[in-house]
Structure 1
Amino acid sequence: MAADPSPVTSTGTTSAIAAPHQKATRAGEAALRDGGSAIDAAIAAAAVLTVVYPHNVALGGDLIALVRTPDSEIVCINASGWAPEAVDVDELRRRYGDTLPIRGAHTVTVPGGVRGWEALHRRAGRLDWHRLFEHAIGHARSGAPVAGSLARHLVDPGNADLRGTEDFDRTFAPGGEPLGLGDALRSPELADTLTAIAESGAQAFYTGPVADAMVDHLGAHGSALTTADFADFAVEECAPIATDFGDLTVVTSPPNTHGFILLRALRWIASADTQACADPLATGLGELIAEFADGNGLRASVLADPRHAPVDLDVLMRPRVPGTGLGGAIRPSRPLRLPHGDTVGVAAADSEGYAVSLIQSVYHSFGSGLIDPTTGVLFHNRGTAFALDPNSPNVIAPHKRPVHTLTPAMTITRDGRVRHVPATMGGQGQGQILGQILARVSAGETAASALAAPRAIVGAQTDGAGTDTIVVERDLAEAARAALEHTGAPILEVPPHTEDMGQANLVVIADDGSMTAATDPRADGEALVLNRVRV
């Protein structure tokens, strides 16, 4: 279903924040006005999103972010969680075959998001930790109005399997029917958990009563996760991967994420000497989509957690030969459960030189469907991205991380300044969405125009789409549509501004330091740029 088609944009000079829900943006704004950094603002916004956007993000989910500090260092914070130490692969294979289910306790890996916030704050936070959670705690305890995207997901036929379950109904249908647009969504248990995190740090989530309660609830549903799996979990802080794109360098997250899909497509646009590259979003869109499809095939067959399986980045980054068509780009793939969206992206920057692209998720809509009644924590289903095929590099294993779709990104000028800070949801299509947005703004489009423009995504991006389907928004330009039809791939049309096609946010920093922020019309968000902050 299409969202409100009015983009939101703001321009100013000192700091910027854009998020897919207005209340999250306002929490980030408050952090900035109180003298916080862009990273403080992003954490505050993300905490609110775990309360008001639970179909897309929760405390029980993962986080991957890029953070840039004033000394020009850029670090990837990989807070993607791992499988249980005691996982029994043979038993899972006997029970499920080669593919884990979409829902249930066996799809839950250790949620990494809270540790990710901690890593971000240690690196670049200015405000006291507890202050970042005030808005989130207030919304969880007092109730926040159900926004449009959540209201649609609560009645979406794709979530019919959740309605009527004890965990789901306790939170989202307390009166017997799913909450509707504007109804108050309350979770005092979640407020208590957020309060514990605010008062005692991330450790309060991974040890002690909160962790005990979560493990007990998951164990009652068959999970092998233990308190030791939670207590031992650590974030990986690593170097991003990058490629040149015109006068910019584009950076994103390395494996186990599929950030390479973005980079190889941009490298193709920048390097191939064809008319397609001169107009990649119109007459050349078929070739660009073929490049994306090739990346999708590599993700399904090669990508894995590099701590457990060899991952050759040169192979992942090698562009296909232009003109070879879409058919050759689609590889037969092992089963890989990839979502349409069900993620949030927060973009923030400030005049001191801090910037962050923060992506956080529950993977599929409402994740595993399990919500611990003691803590109010909804758990993601990121583990369903694992393979059970023993020959797959992505096969589940003890303390292994699954293939990950979260794709933070930034662009950097030749003299080391941040130019663009995008952040998007979009599941398996995140790299494709980012590629189209960056191609547009690099060609001179405004931030708002680039986010509102129609998109085309290859893969299972929405209901009814297969791995070789090109999903297009109905208002795509005629020349672009013709280029896609020329590929011979099946085309599935969706309404303009369909949220499955991504809810993106973008901050753009000009040469003079002025900032523009924009949010996607496919979401319920807001973008703000401040001209003054109180320090």
Structure 2
Amino acid sequence: MRAYRDGGNAIDAAIAAAAVLTVVYPHNVSLGGDLVALIRTPNGVVRCVNASGWAAGGADVVGLRAKHGRQLPATGVDTVTLPGGVRGWAALRRFGARLAWAGCLEPAEHLARSGAPVALSLAAHLGDAQNAALFASTDFAEVFRPEGRDLRAGDPLIQPALAETFAALRQRGPDDFYDGSLAARTVAYLRSQGSAVTTADFERFQPEVVAPLSIDFDGLRVHSSPPNTQGFVLLRTLRAMAESGIRHPLGAGLAAFLRICLHGNMLRDKYLADPRYGGVDAPALVAGGLDQSAEFGGLPPGPSPIPRGDTVGIAAADDDGYAVSLIQSVFGAFGSGLVDPVTGVLFHNRGTGFSLDPASPNVIAPRKRPAHTLTPVMTTRDGVLSHVLSTMGGQGQPQILGQVLLRAMGGATAEEAVSAARAIVGAQVDGATAESVTIEQDLSERAKSALAAARVEPLVVPSHTDHMGHANVVFVDGDGTMAAASDPRSDGSAATDRY
């Protein structure tokens, strides 16, 4: 809101918010992570900015198999791909940002230097036993366990090294992160940890700006990001649902809706990869009807830990016709766990999304991008903005966004749409498998009955649990009136204002 009141537009607001989140929400997002966004400009054109980073030019799949076996680890230097987020911000700015670059980053620098109160979700992740091993690193512990003291909700999180990095970015611009002194330091740090990344990898990286994937659905044009992201899963779900004539997909038709989602997940896991390396047919992935062979599975016999943390989703729009759905991430909680003590930058672990299977289209290769979960979404009606949708939620992002959108189209307010109970198929929470269904306990009785009739035994989690996603949205009425809402599962907030 400060960015708007300073004369900025939705681009400035989204970048300012994203920068602040890299300071105050480091379990989900950092300067050392990726970005994928949709942007709509006042002329009605929607574009996708894909700033997901690639593997090192010297990535050695044979060596990684010898070191790690069948799959990459969840944390550590071998999971670090090049961070694309900062150049993603720069790419977004070229669509018409109004505020100076330095001004957009000033709040983030201030909060890193003076401290921000630890959010509830951050406190929970710092105390999560699944993340305890990260504190074995002195560099990680110095930031997140200062002077050996556990940080609790409300305690100040002070990051002086990160503040200096923001000061350098404000002074020298975003390219310094890729071909300046910050880049030189980052490469030196990562190589000291055993990474194969080089200065050339950073210098040559540029985000892709491409047309989104889009379909027509019940009077709306629904836009999402193309591969290497999983945006196609949402679009094919909506298309297949319409073609199959499913009624009440979040009630009596829930099992059929989730079966389509399950089949989309299966296609994603089998085919999703970086299309620059061939073999990814996005239109074919979007097309297709209801596949009855996609069968739900039962619950596993033992625990199956799911990586925690993930992503942030920002939705912004303004009266001039700009709109942004921005998704930014470190992937698992605190990403790779690597924090450069000089720059304060925490690096993501998005590389763990690569396969080591030589038969997989997603097998790691030099300067290849991994299959990505980030899924920004936007809808228009006759070229006019209707919805800006964003969420975290890992593999479940398309399903979360689909349920929010379907509720909105059924008449729900923005707040009602993001607050309603969710059901997600796939490995979403601890104890879930790729074929199992997780539901929040306050899911409607009609929906629960539909699952029971389909012989689905769901895993039931508490209402508004963190792991079922943080959706943030802007809805626009036909007269241009905007409403915004932030998920009660998150620490976020929403606001609308005339400026």
Shorter chain as normaliser: what TM range? over 0.9
**1:435 is matched with which residue?**
402
1:22-171 superposed matches below 5 A: 29-171=1-143
Pair 479,340 (structure 1): closer, same or farther in 2 beyond 3 Å: farther
Q: 2:312 aligns with which of 341, 344, 358?
A: 344
Aligned to 1:215, the other structure's residue is in SS state helix
Matched, 1:256 2:228: yes
1:42-441 superposed matches below 5 A: 42-273=14-245, 277-321=246-290, 324=292, 326-327=294-295, 339=307, 341-414=309-382, 416-441=383-408
Aligned to 1:527, the other structure's residue is in SS state coil
The 1-side partners of 2:126 and 2:306 are apart by 20
Cα RMSD (Å): 1.5
Aligned-residue offset at 1:151: 0.5
Aligned to 1:123, the other structure's residue is in SS state coil
Q: 1:514 aligns with which of 477, 481, 486?
A: 481
AA partner of residue 360 (structure 1): Q
The 2-side partners of 1:215 and 1:452 are apart by 42
AA partner of residue 395 (structure 2): Q
Contact 2:187 2:199 in 1 (8 A): yes
Pair 490,219 (structure 1): closer, same or farther in 2 beyond 3 Å: farther
1:21-78 per-residue CA deviation (whole Å, 9 max, x = no partner) reads xxxxxxxx11100111101000000000000000000000000000000011111000
AA partner of residue 65 (structure 1): A
Aligned to 1:327, the other structure's residue is in SS state coil
Pair 470,177 (structure 1): closer, same or farther in 2 beyond 3 Å: farther
Pair 35,237 (structure 1): closer, same or farther in 2 beyond 3 Å: same
| Structure 2 portions without partners, runs of 5+ | 299-304
Pair 267,172 (structure 1): closer, same or farther in 2 beyond 3 Å: same
The 2-side partners of 1:466 and 1:329 are apart by 8
**2:439 is matched with which residue?**
472
Contact 1:421 1:506 in 2 (8 A): yes
Aligned to 1:195, the other structure's residue is in SS state helix
Aligned-residue offset at 1:326: 4.1
Contact 1:113 1:360 in 2 (8 A): yes
Identity of aligned residues (%): 55
The 1-side partners of 2:194 and 2:136 are apart by 20
Pair 420,329 (structure 1): closer, same or farther in 2 beyond 3 Å: farther
Identify which range, 186-195 or 203-212, moves more after superposition: 203-212
Aligned-residue offset at 1:114: 0.1
Contact 1:55 1:342 in 2 (8 A): yes
| Structure 1 portions without partners, runs of 5+ | 1-28, 331-336
Aligned-residue offset at 1:462: 1.1
1:161-207 per-residue CA deviation (whole Å, 9 max, x = no partner) reads 21232122111001313311001001111011111111111111112
The 2-side partners of 1:430 and 1:73 are apart by 24
Contact 1:424 1:503 in 2 (8 A): yes
Aligned to 1:475, the other structure's residue is in SS state coil
1:477-488 superposed matches below 5 A: 477-488=444-455
**2:491 is matched with which residue?**
524
1:209-233 per-residue CA deviation (whole Å, 9 max, x = no partner) reads 2122222222122111112111111
The 2-side partners of 1:226 and 1:479 are apart by 55
Contact 2:38 2:324 in 1 (8 A): yes
Contact 1:338 1:428 in 2 (8 A): no
1:423-448 per-residue CA deviation (whole Å, 9 max, x = no partner) reads 10001100000000000000101110
Aligned-residue offset at 1:395: 0.3
1:486-516 per-residue CA deviation (whole Å, 9 max, x = no partner) reads 3444421110000110001010111111110
The 2-side partners of 1:163 and 1:437 are apart by 37
Aligned to 2:473, the other structure's residue is in SS state strand
The 1-side partners of 2:296 and 2:248 are apart by 22
Aligned-residue offset at 1:88: 1.1
Aligned to 2:368, the other structure's residue is in SS state coil
AA partner of residue 304 (structure 1): A
Aligned to 2:48, the other structure's residue is in SS state strand
Aligned-residue offset at 1:320: 3.6
AA partner of residue 286 (structure 1): A
Contact 1:258 1:404 in 2 (8 A): yes
Q: Which structure is higher in RCO with an 8 Å CA cutoff and minimum separation 6?
A: 1
TM-score by length of structure 2 reads 0.96
The 2-side partners of 1:342 and 1:143 are apart by 23
Contact 1:287 1:326 in 2 (8 A): no
Aligned to 1:373, the other structure's residue is in SS state coil
Aligned to 1:59, the other structure's residue is in SS state coil
1:75-99 per-residue CA deviation (whole Å, 9 max, x = no partner) reads 1000000000011110001111221
TM-score by length of structure 1 reads 0.90
The 2-side partners of 1:163 and 1:43 are apart by 30
The 1-side partners of 2:166 and 2:98 are apart by 20
The 2-side partners of 1:168 and 1:122 are apart by 35
Aligned to 2:94, the other structure's residue is in SS state helix
The 1-side partners of 2:403 and 2:359 are apart by 34
The 2-side partners of 1:167 and 1:478 are apart by 49
The 2-side partners of 1:76 and 1:329 are apart by 35
Contact 1:286 1:483 in 2 (8 A): yes
**2:302 is matched with which residue?**
none
Pair 87,338 (structure 1): closer, same or farther in 2 beyond 3 Å: farther
The 1-side partners of 2:290 and 2:423 are apart by 21
Aligned to 2:475, the other structure's residue is in SS state strand
